[in-house]
Homo-oligomer: A and B are copies of this chain.
């Protein structure tokens, strides 16, 4: 029998099971109130719109094309629609700047593959999106902390990367209602990231997965929009914008996109040709069909639903959390990030929570590339109704209050 380890590449040692996903398998029980998932509420999917899209596609002249191979860059009418949407948020571009991926997760994988040689450094938040770390890990990078609490000079990043045998290649961040923190980076913060990237002469990966889900407050221009405004053209921009239909229309079709300067798009197209040829033709057509007819109304529906749930969660946290716990106030997205009183371990709390209170959430540590953040947890409000949220947070508050002596 073959000893598989011997034929596996070194990168495979960094392919490990996501703690969160392993955890979620245990939580799929009806008696548990779950704030753990980071998924959209399926009751809000535009099911009739997709049903109509499929019926139209199969009845129309595109039926054969929907089932046939297609081009690696993606379905042209969808790319055209996206270029128009980008224009609305300050990202002037053409279809040649738009590339369709199988979800924005694929964009992160491809961008890691495109830029990271083993030993290179990626700048990420502490914490950051776990899926980004997983995607990048396959290419064996080191991580350094983007926008740290203390002051960091560009030189210190460069020296750190050199000491580890590589170079800083990009900064990755989600600027709007990030997973897991729910935080939004203001205009000044975005400009600081751009300035740092300019100093280091690296790319910026802007993960805009949640950008459309703003519930209040003023929209901040995307990092790519700020850069285009400063430089005059997307072709001059170092920011690579990754978007998704997973949070707005439906994740199960796996359609996302990248908007960037054409040298990046050209490489991504070649990479996709070699890696999976193209995203499913039918899915791109269906997304285009639904997006062109229903996108704004659908986003309004989702925003209204999630806004109420966020409000319910913030209200319940204020009522039930003991002193010492703090949390953010997200202006959008799906998550509230809670910092527990010092000394309470999120993972230990989860075990007790499942046993005694039947409430699930995600311990925050997995989101930290340096494995700090033990006293943080991520709560998602996207999939529970207001009454359930109130009950779940009441139980969680009781649990944290009871855990406080442990922490002292």
How far is it, in angstroms, between the C-alpha of A203 and the C-alpha of B8 when the chains are bound?
A: 10
Q: Which of A55-106 contact B (CB under 8 A)?
A: 55, 58-59, 63-70, 101-103, 105-106
How far is it, in angstroms, between the C-alpha of A280 and the C-alpha of B275 when the chains are bound?
A: 16
A119 vs chain B, min Cβ distance (A):
11
Given A64-B47, A274-B138, A275-B138, A9:B69 Cβ within 8 A:
no
How far is it, in angstroms, between the C-alpha of A102 and the C-alpha of B281 when the chains are bound?
A: 12
Q: Which of A104-156 contact B (CB under 8 A)?
A: 105-106, 109, 113-117, 120, 131, 134-135, 137-139
- Indicate if the CB atoms of A236 and B39 lie closer than 8 Å: no
How far is it, in angstroms, between the C-alpha of A263 and the C-alpha of B302 when the chains are bound?
A: 41
How far is it, in angstroms, between the C-alpha of A46 and the C-alpha of B81 when the chains are bound?
A: 30
How far is it, in angstroms, between the C-alpha of A203 and the C-alpha of B1 when the chains are bound?
A: 10
Nearest CB in chain B to that of A286: its residue: B282
Q: Verify if A374 is at the interface (C-beta below 8 Å from B).
A: no
Given A67-B252, A254-B277, A12:B236 Cβ within 8 A:
no
A240 vs chain B, min Cβ distance (A):
10
Per-position contact with B for A6-34: 1 when CB-CB < 8 Å, else 0?
Answer: 11111110011110010000000000000
- Indicate if the CB atoms of A18 and B273 lie closer than 8 Å: yes
Nearest CB in chain B to that of A268: its residue: B15
Q: Which residue from B11, B105, B115, B203 sits with its C-beta under 8 Å from A277?
A: B105
Given A4-B263, A50-B58, A281-B252, A135:B65 Cβ within 8 A:
no
- Chain B contacts of A231 at CB under 8 A? 1
Q: Verify if A253 is at the interface (C-beta below 8 Å from B).
A: yes
Nearest CB in chain B to that of A18: its residue: B273
Q: Which residue from B15, B58, B117 sits with its C-beta under 8 Å from A10?
A: B117
A324 vs chain B, min Cβ distance (A):
34
How far is it, in angstroms, between the C-alpha of A280 and the C-alpha of B283 when the chains are bound?
A: 9
- Indicate if the CB atoms of A2 and B47 lie closer than 8 Å: no
Q: Which residue from B58, B59, B117, B202 sits with its C-beta under 8 Å from A11?
A: B117
How far is it, in angstroms, between the C-alpha of A47 and the C-alpha of B267 when the chains are bound?
A: 34
> How many identical chains are in the complex?
2
Q: Which residue from B43, B253, B254, B274 sits with its C-beta under 8 Å from A135?
A: B274
- Chain B contacts of A102 at CB under 8 A? 102, 276, 279-280
How far is it, in angstroms, between the C-alpha of A283 and the C-alpha of B280 when the chains are bound?
A: 9
- Indicate if the CB atoms of B254 and A276 lie closer than 8 Å: yes
Nearest CB in chain B to that of A283: its residue: B280
Given A201-B2, A238-B2, A276-B103, A63:B39 Cβ within 8 A:
no
A162 vs chain B, min Cβ distance (A):
14
- Indicate if the CB atoms of A15 and B203 lie closer than 8 Å: no
- Indicate if the CB atoms of A67 and B251 lie closer than 8 Å: yes
How far is it, in angstroms, between the C-alpha of A264 and the C-alpha of B7 when the chains are bound?
A: 11
- Indicate if the CB atoms of B69 and A47 lie closer than 8 Å: no
How far is it, in angstroms, between the C-alpha of A131 and the C-alpha of B42 when the chains are bound?
A: 37
Nearest CB in chain B to that of A45: its residue: B67
Q: 10 A-B Cβ contacts within 8 A?
A: A9-B139, A9-B169, A11-B113, A45-B64, A47-B67, A67-B253, A101-B276, A113-B138, A253-B280, A254-B278
Q: 5 nearest interchain CB pairs?
A: A252-B281, A67-B250, A42-B64, A134-B274, A51-B58
Sample of 6 more A-B contacts, CB < 8 Å, known A101-B276, A131-B277: A9-B116, A12-B114, A17-B273, A51-B63, A55-B55, A254-B279
